[in-house]
Chain A
Amino acid sequence: MATQIMPSPGARGSTPGDSIPAIRLVGLQKRFGDVVAVDGIDLDVAEGEFFSMLGPSGSGKTTTLRMIAGFERPSGGRIELHGQEVEDLPPFERNVNTVFQDYALFPHMSVADNVGYGLLVRKVPKPERGRRVSEALAMVRLGGYERRRPSQLSGGQRQRVALARALINRPRVLLLDEPLGALDLKLREEMQIELKTIQRDVAITFIYVTHDQEEALTMSDRIAVFNHGRIEQVGSPADVYERPATAFVAGFVGTSNLLSGEAARAVLGADGTYTVRPEKIRLAGIEDPVGDDETSALGRITEVIYLGSDTRYIVALDAGGSLVVTQQNLETSSTEALARQGDRVRLVWKRQHSLPVQGG
């Protein structure tokens, strides 16, 4: 509190420098009986960052978020909020707020009472409360909805109320637990942009839990990829997508396109596990020339999936294994694309796009 360092909303990519992190997790653990949900996590999140925790269900991301909020007590390790240890503090004494997956709006209260709840609890006088409720609702573009009940709102509107209810308390960190999970695709994409805009405006640290890699890539300054209660990689969206550290990250963020063992030796002439992004691969004729800086592999198209703007080809390699290739439908029609099933092809990609990863 005493030495408030200016928030740096644009703290993209790189780990923060000398300032005190908004959140620091040290060796954080959580066990439920015999099950280890979170298995020793170390993490720093900078002030003002939009930080995503990405991972499949059961990877420990939500449990980590709930420990930061104070709903779960860690089995081991430390949680620091702006340098203050908080593991032993109840939720109501932590300066963080949460947007819940199911929104958790109070069904017996109006929208205004829901949004103003945090101020009511903190005994903020009524006139100021009313003013701030109107402001918060205007921010999420729900002005005029004060007297409605949550049951009279659509999913997207409830989501905004939940957001306004959390932000009105001006927390230093906002925790979001898959807040867009229940919305349909179109609305989700709109809300992603809106959330990002709001975050930039309020300059509050956002911790965003999601299992949707696209969502994480779209909105985040940095992403932590969770798997089996551990963090596999922390980095900017570009880091995580273009330079996945492990086979798991390569597969979870993007399409799992792995070459390992025999196939890796035959195609790349090297041991280990490698990943190639499907959009980096070109489909060529068997006899087409291959450049010096390129790798190529022969195979047969076993499956063609037409996706509108793109077509996805699954190619079984002669060397073993299979790769997914995505091609934009610039000139190809769907009939042409679908007719290629069973064709023998040569896959060509730049050598620099074969990325070594751990595991696999």
Chain B
Amino acid sequence: MTTARAPLEGSPGISRRLQTALYRHRAAQILLLLAPPVGWFGVIYLGSLAILFVSAFWYLDPLTSAIRHDFTLANFQLLLGSSVYRTVALRTIGVAAIVTLLDIALAFPIAFFMARVATGRLRAALFALVLLPLWTSYLVRVYAWRVILGKGGPLDWFFGLIGLPDVSLGYSDLSMVIVFTYLWLPYMILPIFAGLERIPTSLLEASADLGARSGMTFRRVVLPLVVPSVAAGSIFTFSLTLGDYITPQLVSNTQFIGNVVYESQGVVGNVPLAAAFATVPVLVMGVFLLLMRRLGAFEAL
């Protein structure tokens, strides 16, 4: 006891005095803790987002191909007026929605099995299987699917085996949807798993005790309680699809918003137009997040 107290009685060291000061001033403590992330988020992330918005109102001088820092709505007029851009935007949003729905449909039974049926080693093994693809490069996985879906690939071989004609999905919107659905599936499985696991067993027992069969318990108790988790997973699958431009390029002939942005600024050098088009997914995502918040997604994360 006495030895442990000794330093207090002597003159306090610098670090001790600093700690005491921090203890007394909670605001300073919080500030010190949050300075790095707030600095990063505020300056670098929000700053670049602001520049993106501002540059969307600049324009490319048609004669010199130089960027003029004058205010114009021309970029947005072009985007709204041209059916090409509209199609690209709608396609991107539509595919993101389809992929999200497919992922929900696929992830639910898997997550349910993992959370409510499997235990111990089986559950651990399933976890490893779900996470394993994430340890491999995204590109490798997309190229693997190109092989699977390509002409004369395993899929065609399998179809031939069961007596069906070649489908050669190779480069198509369907193969793009398949690959996206595969890529983001783990991001849907994990939140749903967590949501299902959080439901106390006694709630399911109570439902059965009150006379509900399994189907009824699922509809009335399980489903409403995992809606927030499904919404949380949807944020991942939807936003990841919305922002992607590599998969459409590798397994289909169509363009996503990302591809157009990439070409506008990379090939043509029209940064203002690219910036204007890039605000579309930002806005879509904002609306989507508001919707998901109403479903309770942020409580489930």
- Residues on A facing B (Cβ under 8 Å): 69-71, 90-92, 96-98, 100-102, 104-108, 117-118, 120-122, 165-166, 169
Contacts and interface: CB of A to CB of B under 8 A. Distances in A.
A117 B202 contact: no
B287 interface: no
B124 interface: no
A108 B227 CA distance: 11
A350 to B, nearest CB: 48
Interface in B245-274: none
A135 B213 CA distance: 26
A121 B206 contact: no
Contact of A97 (B209, B216, B221): B209
B211 A102 contact: no
A90 B221 CA distance: 18
B79 interface: no
Given A102-B200, A106-B203, A121-B210, 10 more contacts: A71-B205, A90-B208, A92-B210, A97-B209, A97-B210, A100-B202, A100-B206, A106-B207, A117-B212, A121-B220
30 contacts: A69-B205, A69-B209, A70-B209, A71-B205, A71-B208, A90-B208, A91-B209, A92-B208, A92-B212, A92-B213, A98-B205, A100-B205, A100-B206, A104-B202, A104-B205, A104-B206, A105-B206, A106-B203, A106-B207, A108-B224, A117-B207, A117-B210, A117-B220, A121-B210, A121-B220, A165-B210, A166-B209, A166-B210, A169-B210, A169-B211
A165 B203 CA distance: 13
Nearest to A120: B220
A312 B209 CA distance: 45
A128 to B, nearest CB: 16
B221 to A, nearest CB: 6
A319 B220 CA distance: 66
B147 interface: no
B206 A98 contact: yes
Nearest to A93: B211
A117 B217 CA distance: 11
B88 interface: no
Nearest to A165: B210
Contacts of B212: 92, 117, 121
Interface in B187-242: 200, 202-203, 205-213, 216, 220-221, 224-225
A105 B216 CA distance: 16
A70 B224 CA distance: 25
Contacts of B207: 106, 117, 121
A152 to B, nearest CB: 16
Contacts of A90: 208
Given A100-B202, A102-B200, A121-B216, A107 B225 contact: yes
A96 B225 CA distance: 26
Interface of B is mostly: helix
B221 A122 contact: no
Contacts of B206: 98, 100, 104-106
A105 B205 CA distance: 11
B282 to A, nearest CB: 32
Contacts of B203: 104, 106
Contacts of A101: 202
Interface centre among A102, A104, A165, by most chain B C-beta atoms within 10 angstroms, is A104
Contacts of A169: 210-211
A266 B242 CA distance: 89
Given A107-B225, A108-B224, A108-B225, A92 B211 contact: yes
Given A100-B202, A121-B216, A106 B209 contact: no
B221 A91 contact: no
A166 B206 CA distance: 9
B209 A122 contact: no
Nearest to B199: A107
A117 B211 CA distance: 9
Interface centre among B207, B208, B212, B225, by most chain A C-beta atoms within 10 angstroms, is B208
Contacts of B208: 70-71, 90-92
Nearest to A123: B211
Nearest to A177: B202
A106 B212 CA distance: 13
A71 B225 CA distance: 21
Q: Which 10 A-B pairs have the closest CB atoms?
A: A118-B210, A104-B202, A104-B206, A91-B208, A121-B212, A121-B211, A108-B224, A98-B209, A92-B211, A100-B202
A107 B216 CA distance: 17
A70 B210 CA distance: 12
Contacts of B220: 117, 120-121
Nearest to B216: A121
A92 B206 CA distance: 10
A262 B193 CA distance: 62
A104 B200 CA distance: 8
Nearest to A175: B209
Contacts of A100: 202, 205-206
A160 to B, nearest CB: 15
A225 to B, nearest CB: 26
Interface string B152-190: 000000000000000000000000000000000000000
A230 to B, nearest CB: 25
A96 B211 CA distance: 10
Nearest to B204: A104
B199 to A, nearest CB: 10
Contacts of A120: 220
Interface string B11-48: 00000000000000000000000000000000000000
Nearest to B296: A108
Contacts of A91: 205, 208-209
A58 B191 CA distance: 35
Interface in B87-126: none
